[in-house]
Amino acid sequence: MAVTKVAQGISASGYSSRRRQLVSLVDRLRSAGASTEIDLPRIAVIGNQSAGKSSLVEAISGIKVPRDAGTCTRCPMEIRLRSSKQPWTCRIALRFETDPKAVRSRPPPPPRPTRDLNQRIAMKDLDYFINLPKKVVLDAKAGSLPEDLAMQQSFSTNLICVEVSGPEITDLAFLDLPGIISNADDTRDIQLIEDMVRKSISGNTLILLTVTMKDDFQNQKAVLMAKEADPDGKRTIGVLTKADTVQRGEHASWLELVEGRRHQLAHGFFVTKQPGTEDLAKNLSFQDVRAAEVEFFKSEEPWDNLAPHIRRQLGTGHLVAFLSDRLARYISEKLPQIRTDLTSSLATVHAALKELPPPLSADPIAELHARLAALGHDLDLLVQGASGHAELVQSKNREDQRYKVNIRATRPHFIPFTKTGKDKSARAAWEEKNPRNDKAGVEALTMDLDELHQHIEEHKGREVPLNTPYGAKASLMIKSMESWPELSTELLDQMRRPVNACVNQLIRRRFQSTDAELYGITTMVASEVLETLFAKAATRISEYLELERTPYTLNDHYFSQTRDDTITALKSAREAPPEPFTFGSDAEAVRQQKQQRLTEALAALAACGYQGIKASQLPRLLGPDTYEEALDAAAQTVAYWKIAYKRIIDTVPRIIDAAVIRPLPTGISEALLKRVVANGDDEVRRLMAEPAALADDRAELNMRKNRLEEAKKVLASFGRSLE
């Protein structure tokens, strides 16, 4: 018989209601799939191959596991024992956590039964049906099973789930792992098992370390692996097996472990004796086996002479009693963390789902037109600079202001002095007060009187005396604007980045959730439209700048006023006597004296009938200057530059707005309709299909959400059961 009709194993240890509820809680959480999301407490049985691990599992669970050659533990086996008032039943299922090549898949769903295995199994047939899933996983033949299973393997990380319920069964779940090996036909199996064990004994796992007393303690790799996973020994429970194989005189090293004098563990080492080969052949009952073990430790040296507290570590009965108590306590300790992890994981999944774009409509054609309309509306808001969509307009305003500053920095810089003679000291003082523009990357026309005079002389031909050639003045005006084409092109180029960024952001918002091909088409079409718009803007700017190469204005009043103000300032600078160097109150006295003289002069002029003359106009009363012609050319150049400056700082930004920004909604929408819709409805349906990767992500997240919500219900139900 695989399982006896009497209370056995952990059920014989007198589980309290609280312990049963705690173990059952974790079992239900695992059934809900929570173990794929959060770290649930459990027991994992590890040990070297042939360390007596399978016999220990039988003793704990009452389930007889297969022992035929070649069917040792080659897959993890999750054993769940459930107390029930219903007749004894057993269900066997497979849980595939990797694909056939043992590559980790996405978080797996809860265990699913395989075909022909989801049936009630008789106790006498249990060992056969436990072995059958191993054959499914390990020895599948091509053609007889689904293609994803038809691959031969020596070991697998996929699980066999054995669920036994009945009135004599106690709630418990533990994981029996394949024995650790040091030799194999395929050396990859060694690493596969070790990786499987390391993963299974991390986190909230109680490690049931099985050590055979037939081999040296230090030679068993399971000991080292448990030490690596649990350096402090707080989660490890040692079990020494095959106590009847130790020869007389060889017990000392093992007693050191049992008595805690070597390799100390928080929970110490237990010692068990399981049936030998001859006993197994006799098909002894569970009760006979346990009775024989008790008699062995009562009668055999040195076990019969140990201290009473050490004797409580001898025998499967004591081990089972300890496991039942320790597992329940461990679950109770971890319960707050389980609640926290569950809440955190569920919040993470909800946030991830929220980040995904909405699912596509069942009508892809209507969905496409709706997305195109939404994109057009977004572009309208972008062009208008509406609230929440003002980033492009704000970027353009910043670039326009920078452009204005750069153009203003090209103002002609005429020095009203020559390089030599009496002008030398006056020039130095004037240049200190009126430094030339040093803005990086911006050049302004700079000339002194010598250079202006030479420039005018170079343009003279048949002109009569006192008549400055038009070409001399026109060329100065054009020179003062030489850097404007470059600055205007720079402004247009600077607008490419924000325009592209804003348009692409809106396209991502409306089309990134669609097929990658459709998303690529929309971005490509938008890029082509933008290139066309920028090319048109560049042409229009070039045409406008070409107009500025021919000086022209009807703003004669502003031209005359600016020309007069400029020539007055230049003449005043040339005629102004150097002011004495004074300090403090003396300087203030000089200023007041000068102001008094100006007031008196203006009053005298007014008395002579010259009303309304201002102090700034007095330099015009000075006599003719030797460089009058050069000063007049400079003044006219500055006057015209100011008029052209006022035109260009408005015109070029408006060209960009009219040629690039405002056509965005219509240009992009019409181009997308022509490119996408023109190919027919079938093409639209193909392009509007949700990307496979996105569909997988959505399905995975919804699956995880369902698991976690189901686990949350289990926890809530557990809380109510304690009230």
Q: Is residue 31 part of a domain?
A: yes
Question: Does the pLDDT at position 18 exceed 50?
Answer: yes
486, 487, 488, 483: which is closest to 641 by C-alpha? 483
If asked whether residues 197 and 119 sit together in one domain, one would say yes
Cα–Cα dist 84/682, whole Å: 57
Question: Does the pLDDT at position 594 exceed 50?
Answer: yes
If asked whether residues 150 and 250 sit together in one domain, one would say yes
Q: Is residue 697 part of a domain?
A: no
Return the structure tokens found at 609: 């009938």
pTM of the predicted structure, to 2 decimals? 0.56
DSSP class of 155: -
Query: pLDDT at position 511, please?
Result: 84
Q: Which of 25-34, 433-442, 538-547 has the least mean pLDDT?
A: 433-442
Question: What is the domain extent for residue 474?
Answer: 364-687
Alpha-helical (H) ranges within 272-315 are 277-281, 286-299, 308-311
Query: pLDDT at position 680, please?
Result: 79
If asked whether residues 394 and 513 sit together in one domain, one would say yes
Return the structure tokens found at 549: 């190469």
Query: pLDDT at position 160, please?
Result: 81
Q: Is residue 692 part of a domain?
A: no
Query: pLDDT at position 723, please?
Result: 46
419, 368, 388, 370: which is closest to 677 by C-alpha? 368
Q: Which of 135-139, 353-357, 583-587 has the least mean pLDDT?
A: 135-139
Return the structure tokens found at 602: 């203006």
If asked whether residues 462 and 606 sit together in one domain, one would say yes
Query: pLDDT at position 135, please?
Result: 52
Cα–Cα dist 200/229, whole Å: 10
If asked whether residues 317 and 387 sit together in one domain, one would say no
Whether 66 contacts 127, CB under 8 Å: yes
Q: Is residue 585 part of a domain?
A: yes
Most confidently predicted of 112-126, 421-435, 640-654:
640-654
Please identify, among 286, 317, 348, the residue that sits at the C-terminal boundary of a domain.
Answer: 348
Q: Which helix (H) or strand (E) holds 447?
A: strand 446-448
What does the pLDDT look like over 504-523, one tens digit per residue?
A: 999 998 887 666 788 888 99
Is 112 in a helix, a strand, or coil?
strand
pLDDT confidence bin for 73, thresholds 50/70/90: low
pLDDT confidence bin for 453, thresholds 50/70/90: very high
If asked whether residues 384 and 292 sit together in one domain, one would say no
pLDDT confidence bin for 436, thresholds 50/70/90: confident
Question: Does the pLDDT at position 709 exceed 70?
Answer: yes
Q: Is residue 718 part of a domain?
A: no
If asked whether residues 343 and 399 sit together in one domain, one would say no
Query: pLDDT at position 143, please?
Result: 42
Cα–Cα dist 252/500, whole Å: 80
* Distance (Å) of CA 256 to CA 238, 253, 264: 13, 5, 9
CATH of the domain at 54: 3.40.50.300
If asked whether residues 371 and 334 sit together in one domain, one would say no
Cα–Cα dist 627/137, whole Å: 105
Q: Is residue 698 part of a domain?
A: no
Q: Is residue 318 part of a domain?
A: yes
If asked whether residues 131 and 242 sit together in one domain, one would say yes
If asked whether residues 475 and 572 sit together in one domain, one would say yes
pLDDT confidence bin for 139, thresholds 50/70/90: very low
Which amino acid is residue 528, in one-letter code?
E
* Distance (Å) of CA 36 to CA 117, 345, 569: 23, 11, 85
Cα–Cα dist 217/240, whole Å: 10
Domains contained in the chain, number: 2
What does the pLDDT look like over 628-660, one tens digit per residue?
A: 899 999 999 999 999 999 999 999 999 999 999
If asked whether residues 399 and 333 sit together in one domain, one would say no
Residue that the structure tokens 């796992």 belong to: 205
Q: Is residue 710 part of a domain?
A: no
Please identify, among 348, 378, 403, the residue that sits at the C-terminal boundary of a domain.
Answer: 348
Q: Which helix (H) or strand (E) holds 324?
A: helix 316-355
If asked whether residues 413 and 303 sit together in one domain, one would say no
